[in-house]
Every structure is written in structure tokens, then in C-alpha cells.
Amino acid sequence: MSYLDAASSAPLHPVARQALMASLDEGWADPARLYREGRRARMLLDAAREAAAEAVGCRPDELVFTSSGTRAVHSGIAGALAGRRRVGRHLIVSAVEHSSVLHSAEVHQADGGSVTEVPVLRSGAVTVEAYAEALRPDTALACLQSANHEVGTEQPVAGVAEVCRAAGVPLLVDAAQSLGWGRVEGDWSLLTASAHKWGGPSGVGVLVVRKGVRFAAQGPVDERESGRAAGFENIPAIVAAAASLRAVRAEAAQEAARLRELTERIRARVPRLVPDVEVVGDPERRLPGVVTFSCLYVDGETLLHELDRAGFSVSSGSSCTSSTLTPSHVLKAMGVLSEGNVRVSLPPGTPQEDVERFLEVLPGAVAGVREKLGAPVAEAVVRDDALVVDSLGKRCPIPVIELAKVIGDVPVGGLVRVLSDDEAARLDIPAWCEMRGQEYVGEEPADRGSAYVVRRLS
């Protein structure tokens, strides 16, 4: 079995395993106590904090360990907003942030605060100018991920940090996906990360608050971790997290170059091996081991099951792999195809043979899924000089498949109206038009769902 989903969670690094086992015997006592066992536990905790701070590029007393990366995000946003409440209650986030950031934004808005969501380019990146325009006199905090978790696009953190600093606004950076590869550049104010993303154990997050940043921890006050992370520290896991971070950083430069070559191979060959594929994300400014593509006329969940049976563990941002049955907010914000979406994220050490075997298996898997989904016959009628395709009650990619079947039945310049009540169609039909060189006219109300109007150009 080839595990190719490191962006969700990286396999435990051998150094993390060794440090975890060793510290289980030494780090079990209360580090707040003055007796020998407590002092030993405190020494382990302090050493881990110093190692993590060195990797981040901050002072040890600016860094605390939390119970997860999500907890670090929630605590960091809530504390920064509370600390700057006198300035205002305006929060800025990008449209492609991790759900932990967006959920915090929703809570803030429900509590009476205001939120500006900065749009992204088709590559998934924000622009510095868009963040600069979003800043207001009452802006309390801005948030920006260092790299996107679904498509791997790296964000212009340094530039955004510069305009935020000039406006006197702190910038919180979610560095969960990138910290294992290197420090986050720029004059940021707060930073969060998660150990299981770089090969450490799960259940360890990092929250950094720079000196001088107004911060008021929310919730009951706890004397541990500077009052910013309540509860008894999981010292063995923290020690393992810090040890693995140091280890992956030592390997990062060489491994990044190797993984970039492998992902570039996937980016270049998948469109040649599989028809009607869109490779998404920035082709240059991206994480070393992440490549994401979407396949037309493919159900994402079915494709992932086929690849799983073939021995590959990959993930997807497609609507069909989510219990919400709605398109990935990242793909939606980018305006790219969501159906048949596959994210391949290579863990450090991935052998070249696994990538070659994946490229051998993928075309057959996609073709098999397309064959299964190609059976539905489009229900089309001519109405008001337009061909109407009734796809009500059918989930994507079926509405797109039915559109593709009938587009040739109308003359050049003619219209097709696709009736659909699947939320994913709002994203996938315009993306299909972009890929196939047809004109997406727009969305119209219908008795049920919506009518998506397409003009044939070729």
C-alpha cells in the first residue's frame, strides 16, 4: 500500500518514535513540581520548547504547546481579537483558509464582529494588494495560511505581513502545512502549527505570540503554558514533536528537491495520460510534495475507492467525498473544477517507484469510473430556442456529463440550459466551460434548483 496523503497527516518520523518512547520513562511527572521527577520533566519540556522556537524563529517564551493545531488557531484568533477589542472588531481572512480559521471567523461574526474574506486568484493565491484594500481603521487581526492544504499553493506571507505591519495590524499565520519545510518569512505577529503534519505525534499544536502583540487569552485562566493553553502538558508527545521537527528540517532541502521532481512528473504526465484533466494550484509557488488535479466526468468518491483498491491512499477536495455534499470551499474560491478531484501529497521518503506505479494505475481507474457514470442518457428538450437538460435530482458529475453529451446538438452560438439542484453544479459547469472552450452565460432561477446557461462557441 502506498500512502500518498501526507498533507492530511504525515507518517510518524522515526526520530519522533524514538523520542516518544524515551520520554515516556522520563517525562511523566508534573513539570510544575520541585522534586526530582518534576525537575526532570521540566527540563524535557524546556528543551522541547527551545528546539521548537529555534525551528520557528522566535523566542522560547513566545511559544506554547497546545492540544492540537486547531486548538492553537482557535486560541490564537480569539486571544488576538480580545486583546485588540478597543481598536475594533474587524477580522480579515482569505477565502481558502483551513476550516479552523473559517470556523473561528464564523463565531466572531455571530458574536457581532465583522469579517472580510479576501478572494484568491485561480492559482489559489491571494494578492498583497487585496489584503491592503481589506485593511480598515477598525481591523483587529488578519489571518493568512503560509501554504494551502488542498492544492499546495504558497501564499505571499512576507508581503502581506509588511502591509499589515504598516497599518498596525497583527497577522496570524497558519503554518501547519509548511513549517516542516522551513521558517515562515516575513514580520508576522502570531503563528500556529500542528505536529502531525511534519511527522510528529497527533495531539500537539504550536501557538506563537510575538512580544508586543496585544493578546488576552480566553476562557478560564490556567497557570500552565503562560495561561494560553490549559491542561497538563503531554510531555512525551511534545518532546517527540520537537525532535521530529528538528529532524525533518535537517532533511528538508534535499528531500524538497527530490519530491518537487516527483510531483512535477505527476503534474506533467497526468494531463497526457488522462483526457479532460485540470491540474490546479500554482505551478511554481507550491509545497514540494503536493499536486492536485480534477478529472471531468468522474465521481470523486468512486475514484478514490478505485485507487484505494489499487493500493494508493490519496484524498480529495471534491464535493463527493464530503458528508456535506457541497464543493470544497478552496476549489470553489479558486473557480476550478471540483468533480473527480484528487490530491496527491507525498510523505518524505516516498520512492520513485510508487509514483510511477500510480501513473500506471490512474488512467485505467479514471476510465473505469467514467465508463460506469457514462450510462445516463440526457433528458433534453428544445424550449425557447434553447436545449434544456433536466438533471434535477442527479449529483455531479452527472449534470456535466449530460451537458457534454448534448452540447454538440445545438448550433454554434446556440444555448443549453442545464437544470440542476446539486450545489456542486454551480462550480463545475462554469469550470467545464473554461476547460472545453464554451461560454458560461450565467445562472437563472428555476422552479427547482437553478438553470445554468451555456453558449456553444465551438
Catalytic positions: 320
Instruction: Evaluate whether 342 touches 292 at the Cβ level (below 8 Å).
Output: yes
Closest CA to 192 of 202, 201, 184, 181: 184
**From CA 69, how far away is CA 197, in angstroms rounded?**
9
User: What is the C-alpha to C-alpha distance for residues 210 and 410, in angstroms, rounded to an integer?
Assistant: 62
H/E segment holding residue 190: strand 190-194
Report residue 309 as a C-alpha cell. Answer: 483498491
Are the beta carbons of 143 and 101 closer than 8 angstroms?
yes
Other C-beta atoms closer than 10 Å to the C-beta of 252 total: 16
The answer to whether 314 touches 4, Cβ cutoff 8 Å, is yes
Single-letter residue type at 266: I
Residues 47 and 337: their CA atoms lie apart, in Å, by 46
Beta bridge partners of 171: 142
Percent of residues in the chain assigned helix, strand, coil, to nearest 5: 40, 20, 40
Q: Are strands 312-313 and 171-174 parallel, antiparallel or unpaired?
A: unpaired
Q: Cβ contacts of residue 403 below 8 Å, gap of 6+?
A: 378, 389, 416, 418, 429, 432, 454
H helices of 92-234, in order, are: 99-110, 128-134, 157-166
Does 397 sit behind a cis peptide bond, omega within 30 degrees of 0 on the bond before it? Answer: yes
Radius of gyration of the chain (CA): 24
Q: Are 37 and 265 in contact (CB under 8 A)?
A: no
Could you say which DSSP state residue 136 is in? -
